Amino acid sequence: MNDFYKAIDETTVWMGNLIYQGCETLVKEIEDVSVEIEVALDFYLEPVIDWLGEVEGIISDTSRPFVQTVTPALQDHPNCVGCNHYHGEAYGGNVLVCAMHPYGVEESNICPDWESVWRNDSQ
């Protein structure tokens, strides 16, 4: 009976080693395939990502006049509506209106630095 248990123990150890080696081989194969997939995806997706970046720039440039016209009115800067210099981003809870007038024009209703965001044919 003692030999029987010894044989079972040896068989269990042998099977454990065999399974371990198989798992190591499988993990190595999966790593190799995943690297190949990553390289292939990079190759095929990089042009798409570049194109999407270009499209984003085109959309941003195209929508800029609309955003520059609507956003200042929504943020209580009516003097800045349609101004090419309007920035309107918040930093630390404070809106930077533009570089010339960080807090907006408050002295008068007319900004001396206002330039139209709507381009005419001569620009």
State the pLDDT at residue 123.
47
Structure tokens at 118: 């709507």
Residue 94 clears pLDDT 90, i.e. is over it: no
Residue 26 CA from chain centroid, whole number: 34
- In 1-123, the DSSP E strands lie at 89-91, 94-96
* Distance (Å, whole) CA 55 – CA 47: 12
- At 43, is the pLDDT very low, low, confident or very high (cuts 50, 70, 90)? very high
Q: Is the pLDDT of residue 64 over 60?
A: yes
The whole-angstrom separation of Cα 112 and Cα 88 is: 18
How far is the CA of 50 from the CAs of 61, 64, 74, 77, 120, in angstroms?
17, 21, 33, 36, 30
- The residue extents of the domains of the chain are 2-96
The secondary structure of residue 117, as a DSSP letter, is S
The pTM of this model reads: 0.44
Give every CB contact of residue 64 below 8 A, 6+ residues apart in sequence.
117
Residue 5 identity (one-letter amino acid): Y
